[in-house]
Amino acid sequence: NSSSLYQELNGQSGLERLVDAFIQEIAGDEQIFHYFAKSNVDRFREGFITHLCDVSDGPCEYQGDNMIDIHTGMKINEADFNRVVELLINAMEAEGIPYRTQNKLLARLAPLRPEIIHR
Ligand code: HEM
């Protein structure tokens, strides 16, 4: 299969729509929103889009801080990590991304978990 995950996610405009839907999910979630209460949404949006573009083999190189540095001090537990994954799945559902494609993206994000929780 020569088509990249980035293409399956409908490229740059698809990632922009996905991250906008993800931000909506976060904004409406009592369990998670407080983490982002003082964050710059535009910066998060740009960084998260570029990071997803990079991990899905798109034409981007994420040059932001690494996952450990960004999430250090947040003390994210497994339940909250899992909730954020759920919010991302909700966003992918809302965007009509096929189940198989959803799972491919989740499989690329799952290995990052130890860099994000208990920091
Ligand atoms: C696989 C899961 C995750 C990935 C790939 C990820 C990735 C990222 C990236 C790329 C950014 C930086 C955007 C930028 O400024 O360049 C970011 C920021 C952030 N992440 Fe995560 N994240 C994940 C899970 C989580 C979880 C579970 C939480 C909280 C429960 C969280 C909370 C935050 C917050 C609050 C920021 C903004 C920090 C700031 O204001 O500068 N993240 N994340």
Q: Tens digits of per-residue pLDDT, 15-37?
A: 999 999 999 999 999 999 999 99
Alpha helices in the chain, H assignment, sequence order: 5-8, 11-27, 30-36, 41-55, 67-71, 78-94, 99-109, 113-116
Q: Tens digits of per-residue pLDDT, 84-119?
A: 999 999 999 999 999 999 999 999 999 999 999 999
Domain map (residue ranges) of the chain: 5-116
Most distant CA pair in the chain, distance:
42
> Which residues line ligand 1 at a C-beta cut-off of 6 Å?
32, 35-36, 39, 43-44, 47-48, 51, 64, 70-71, 74, 76, 80-81, 84, 109, 112, 116
Q: Tens digits of per-residue pLDDT, 40-89?
A: 999 999 999 999 999 999 999 999 999 999 999 999 999 999 999 999 99
Is 5-116 CATH 1.10.490.10? yes
Which pLDDT score is estimated for 3? Answer: 85
ipTM over 0.90: yes
What does each C-alpha distance from 27 to 6, 19, 20 come to in angstroms? 25, 12, 11
At residue 98, φ and ψ (nearest 5 deg) are -60, 150
Q: What percent of the chain has pLDDT over 90?
A: 97
- Measured CA to CA, the distance from residue 22 to residue 87 in angstroms comes to 6
